[in-house]
Structure 1
Amino acid sequence: MVTSTVKEVSQTRRELTVNVPADAIAEAIETALVVLSQQVRVPGFRPGKVPTKLVRSRVGEQAVNDEALRQGINGWIGSALEEHDLNPVAQPSVDVKSFDSAEGAELEVVFDVLPVIELPNLEGLELDGPEWELNDEEVDQALEQLRERFAELETVDRGVQANDLVTLTIEGKYEGEVVPEASANDLVFQVPEEASDSVMDTAILGVKAGESFDFTDTLGPEFGERLAGKELQFHCDVTEVKQRNLPDLDDDFALTASEFDTIAELREDLKDDLAKNKIAMAHANRRAYVVATLTEDLEYEVPESLIDHEVRHQLNILASQAERSGLDFNQFVAMAAGGDVESLMDRVREEATATVRAQLFVDAIAREQDLSIENEDLTAEVVAQARRLNRDPEEIAKVMFAQENVGALVTDALRRKAIDFLMDAVTITNEPPAIESEEPADETPVAVDGAPEGGESEPAKEDPTPDNEGDNA
């Protein structure tokens, strides 16, 4: 009989020690021999009829043990999980401590589980609505952004300064070998206006066109498992330095940048547009805002495996965007990050954590309220996704009702239903003014739904059984 003990590593992580007796190992070996006999080809014997002794001699004892492990491991771990009423949220990590046909086996299984969330009391709950009133600082910022769009570039013969645009060739080497993924020709790099932790941002300051500089840096996770964490030596040749000259915010600028004659008229028009947009955004973000507000003061751990899954999802989106743009992924990420790739990756992980945190809360609401999904809920979800993508609902339905996407569709529909419940349960004060539109704004929760395009959902959860070379049970 398989025995097991469980250790609580953290609120969401468990360590399971599974002890498999010798008789269970013997049974798995017998099964393995049957499987291997179908694969071994011996003259004079039909597949499946090769004697076990001959199978052992042909494939070796280690291959028999490996196959026995593949045949038995899912059942052994599955029974241990059932014994302790544990449900991994992602693929467990399995370490085979020992495996012996005479003495049995010991497995160490590490995995994440859902956190226990103490849900708030919603009865009579009032929440301030999302901010919708415009302030002067936001108008000033919009004017400054418009001003930067009309900046003129001037080639300068001086050392690089903050906010300059620099054209350079960069070559990264690891242990003396050039790393193509970390090298580029004629790369246009904008130096951040504010100081950053990037080694390159600091090393490039003061360098003139025609000069070179070197630095050492460690590659981030955006470079993939093969290169992430590697320390590279970089050599850069600066070919051109340009400064950005901003126009004055005066009436001449208003004439250049708009149909208005004065800067006052331009500012007032920007103010009107910004006010309308902010009100529209407040309406569109009500659902995400309510979820974020309700979870703000709740303390619960977010499983690292789910965060990692969401990070990979977000990086896949970036990879798709890079492919559509015809750019190398690393170059695309560098451009998107404004040169500060490390900060971008930190931001991706921070956003992934917030997304998963919100999803866990909404899922807990669905369980507490015992919500279920009907066909009309799935139809409503498809229509909502089609509206978001501005696509034909029938076209979206074909994708979302495909076998591999149905699980994600059901998950999204259930989350939408849970948020509908929350919106009915709480009272929102300080609502923004009503807006006139031909269609109501889609209030899909930004932090709860999944990707901004494609299936628009979190992929179905992975099989919680361990990943081994053989087939999972």
Structure 2
Amino acid sequence: MSQRRRVNVKITSETLPERQVRLQIEVDDDRHAEAMEQAYRKLAPRVSIKGFRPGKAPRPLIEKTIGRHRLLDEAMDIIIPIAYSQALEQQSIKPIASPEVELVSHEPLVFTATVPLEPVIDLGDYTGTLRVAKEPVSIAEDAVEQELDEMRHRQGTIEPVERPAQEGDVIRGSLQAETDDDGQVFSGQELEYRLTEEYLVSMPGLLEALVGKSKGDEVEAKGMAPEDFPDERLRGKEIRYKASIAEVKEEKLAPLDDTLAQQHDHGDEIKTLAALRGHLQEELQKGAEAAEQRRFESAAIDALTDMATVEYPAVMLEAEISHILEDQAGLDPRDPQAQALYLARLGKTEQEVRDSIHDEAEQRLKRSLVMSRFAEAENISVDESEVEQELDTLAGQAGTSHDVIRRLFDNDQGRTHLRQTLLTRKTFGRLSEIAGGEPAKKAATKPAAKKAPAKQRRSGPRAAEKEAPAAEAKSE
């Protein structure tokens, strides 16, 4: 008797909010009886009854020995998947995840299945109303000099001095910190740390205590952690320090001359300080333009998402929250202990962490669904010739490593990655055109609401994953 034989079922359907439907399914008595017989034949060989060989004891005796509920449970495991699958077929339902199943009664066998459905996205009339203003791009007057100053710091030296410490100096020595409630909260030997507010932001009061001290000094000091202190344990508490100064060092900046220019990454091409200034000006301008493009794209995605109507089942949001949690914590899904250790470090429950990232996950999910639907509405696609051209471009840019790049991407997985990169780039490009008020490249038709495909991780244009990258950015 086949377990996959069709089942006569009675089905009632109830539409629920958030793209769900509840099916109540009743299995006919004859098919339930067959499932009970199958359950008996499966369980009987496992039951040892005196006077009978394994599997030969009559069913009433088996039921009396193990309890009728065991047979009923086994029969449910046999018949419910078949009945559920048949109900989906009869109702023309395509679920995106497993249902929540609840038993209503054993006899007759009645159960409910709450089924998550595909999301539905209506973009609205975006072609005529989606507009985002572009902002002028400029760099600060002193931006180039700041870059030069950073280079001088990187190329400079740190040298010992025989004088009291000044702000900006480097101290070498030991350092301990403690509080009344927590005991020792920091301890280190042979440390090197810079006397600046930025470097010592996590040690309030220490900078002021060390400025003016000299080699060989033993320093004891106190500081009060503010209420918005990064380390929640120390907020509002007094921190006591003990520092031993083994050495005071002074930073010597590299000279601001042509030699500095020749130490730049493009030193073979840049020979003078004037040429370096021009190069930095150009790079900073490009960076500012790229940042503005990212802001513009992100604003366009937000505007499109705001005007869209998006409906999805809760299971999709829960999956997105799990993805963010894994990413933030660097969790390995295959390690069952990884999440527990991460939560222990945070001192929070899983639900507390999930609640804290709920809004971010909701926005990411909506943006991703909207951008996938937008790509469909605009008929954006990528053909193999475009993938091949992108591969040629990457290999050409790699110079002597072009063979390595080809081996990396010239396979199914690599080409899928390139195809997704190109789809993302083209989708962002088209959205930028519309948001910037450029003429439509295709006949403007209002896209009807459409069921979106079930969202897989990292699928579709990746707008919802993070802040929108520039159109030329590679997909992750």
Normalised to the residue count of structure 2, the TM-score between the two structures is 0.51
Q: Distance in 2 between matches of 1:367 and 1:137?
A: 46
- Deviations, residues 142-177 of structure 1 (Å, cap 9, x unaligned): 8999999978468779888xxxx95179xxxxxxxx
Q: 1:368 to 1:57 in 2, by over 3 A?
A: farther
In the TM superposition, what are the counterparts of 1:6-155 in structure 2 within 5 Å?
6-9=14-17, 12-14=18-20, 16-23=22-29, 24-36=31-43, 52-53=59-60, 56=63, 60-82=67-89, 85-96=92-103, 98-101=104-107, 103-107=108-112, 109=114, 111=116, 113-122=118-127, 127-128=132-133, 132-135=137-140, 152=170
Aligned 8 A contact 2:130 2:304 in 1: no
Q: Distance in 1 between matches of 2:43 and 2:15?
A: 36
SS across alignment from 2:95: coil
TM-superposed deviation, 1:76: 3.1
Whether 1:363 and 2:372 are equivalent positions in the alignment is yes
Aligned 8 A contact 2:325 2:354 in 1: no
In the TM superposition, what are the counterparts of 1:221-232 in structure 2 within 5 Å?
none
Corresponding residue number in structure 1 for 2:215: none
Corresponding residue number in structure 2 for 1:205: 237
- Deviations, residues 185-224 of structure 1 (Å, cap 9, x unaligned): xxx9947998549783454631324xxxxxxxxxxxxxxx
SS across alignment from 2:463: coil
User: Using CA pairs below 8 Å that are at least 6 residues apart, which structure has the higher relative contact order?
Assistant: 1
Q: 1:394 to 1:270 in 2, by over 3 A?
A: closer
Aligned 8 A contact 2:15 2:22 in 1: yes
Aligned 8 A contact 1:18 1:77 in 2: no
Structure 1: gaps (5+ residues): 170-187, 210-238, 432-443, 451-455, 459-473
SS across alignment from 1:208: strand
In the TM superposition, what are the counterparts of 1:262-277 in structure 2 within 5 Å?
273-277=283-287
Pairing partner for 2:288 from 264, 278, 281: 278
In the TM superposition, what are the counterparts of 1:451-466 in structure 2 within 5 Å?
none
Corresponding residue number in structure 2 for 1:295: 305
Structure with larger Rg? 2
Corresponding residue number in structure 2 for 1:212: none
Q: Distance in 2 between matches of 1:202 and 1:382?
A: 52
Aligned 8 A contact 1:15 1:110 in 2: yes
Structure 2: gaps (5+ residues): 1-8, 155-167, 189-199, 205-224, 262-274, 439-459, 467-473
SS across alignment from 1:447: helix
Aligned 8 A contact 2:177 2:240 in 1: yes
TM-superposed deviation, 1:421: 5.7
Aligned 8 A contact 2:420 2:475 in 1: no
SS across alignment from 1:300: strand
SS across alignment from 2:240: coil
Q: Distance in 1 between matches of 2:150 and 2:97?
A: 43
Aligned 8 A contact 1:191 1:201 in 2: no
Q: 1:125 to 1:273 in 2, by over 3 A?
A: same
Aligned-residue sequence identity (percent) comes to 17
Q: 1:156 to 1:167 in 2, by over 3 A?
A: closer
Q: Distance in 2 between matches of 1:137 and 1:430?
A: 34
TM-superposed deviation, 1:360: 0.9
How many residue pairs were aligned? Answer: 362
Query: Could you tell me which amino acid in structure 2 is paired with residue 305 of structure 1?
Result: V
Aligned 8 A contact 1:92 1:110 in 2: yes
- Deviations, residues 422-462 of structure 1 (Å, cap 9, x unaligned): 7347346499xxxxxxxxxxxx9552569xxxxx999xxxx
Q: Distance in 2 between matches of 1:202 and 1:449?
A: 34
Corresponding residue number in structure 2 for 1:420: 426
TM-superposed deviation, 1:417: 4.1
Query: Could you tell me which amino acid in structure 2 is paired with residue 362 of structure 1?
Result: M
Query: Could you tell me which amino acid in structure 2 is paired with residue 447 of structure 1?
Result: A
Q: Distance in 1 between matches of 2:62 and 2:389?
A: 57
Aligned 8 A contact 1:167 1:240 in 2: no
